Chain A
Amino acid sequence: ETGVTQSPTHLIKTRGQQVTLRCSSQSGHNTVSWYQQALGQGPQFIFQYYREEENGRGNFPPRFSGLQFPNYSSELNVNALELDDSALYLCASSPRGDRALPDTQYFGPGTRLTVL
């Protein structure tokens, strides 16, 4: 069984540019969540996608956007990059149960984004 994969592993961009990060969910998982982890901090929830629809969002501006595809893979797009966007971006997939209890989220290795 393949786990959660992310690409690329590392990325360097300059301020003002746009970036797209990719995530392939674990087999059988239909929900993808994205988190931003700044250096020395815990991950912060960006948003979640379920069946191609955004299903919850954290305190991030609209220039952070996403997509989920029919195969449940996902993209995170960030426009107008700022220096503070430098972070490890983590993707997590989960199987969506009956929602009475939270599903376990399985994390990928992350994409390290550096904005210069």
Chain B
Amino acid sequence: AQSVTQLDSQVPVFEEAPVELRCNYSSSVSVYLFWYVQYPNQGLQLLLKYLSGSTLVKGINGFEAEFNKSQTSFHLRKPSVHISDTAEYFCAVSDRGSGYALNFGKGTSLLVTP
């Protein structure tokens, strides 16, 4: 089964600074990649997804991610963060063999301070 590794458990950053949250996946053909955000005491909200086509994916709230097949990575980036971006971020992978069930990483806690 496919798996993802989120390399940072916590990322502290100052407001208006850029941020990158790293995600690597186990190699396979035809993987599909997702980033979800979870605010405190809430469910998961989809930020963006890569299914096919352009390797640069733009999502909501100014986030984007780049699918890099050679490095098996799908890092999430934002050029300027806000206090309201403080949340838990999850990278997930799915494939057809698993019926498209989502396999999540352990999450990265983004803390934005003034």
Contacts and interface: CB of A to CB of B under 8 A. Distances in A.
B90 A56 contact: no
A72 B8 CA distance: 38
B98 A104 contact: no
12 contacts: A33-B101, A35-B104, A43-B90, A43-B104, A45-B101, A48-B101, A99-B100, A102-B94, A102-B100, A104-B46, A107-B43, A109-B43
Interface in B68-114: 90, 92, 94, 96, 98-107
Contacts of A58: 101
Interface string B23-52: 000000000100010000111111001011
B98 A56 contact: yes
Nearest to A58: B101
Interface in A84-109: 90, 92, 99, 101-109
B100 A103 contact: yes
Q: How many of chain B's residues touch chain A, expressed as a range?
A: 20 to 34
A103 B99 CA distance: 10
A44 interface: yes
Given A101-B32, A104-B49, A43 B44 contact: yes
Nearest to A59: B1
A56 B101 contact: yes
Contacts of A42: 90, 92, 104-107
Nearest to A110: B43
B100 A45 contact: no
A41 interface: yes
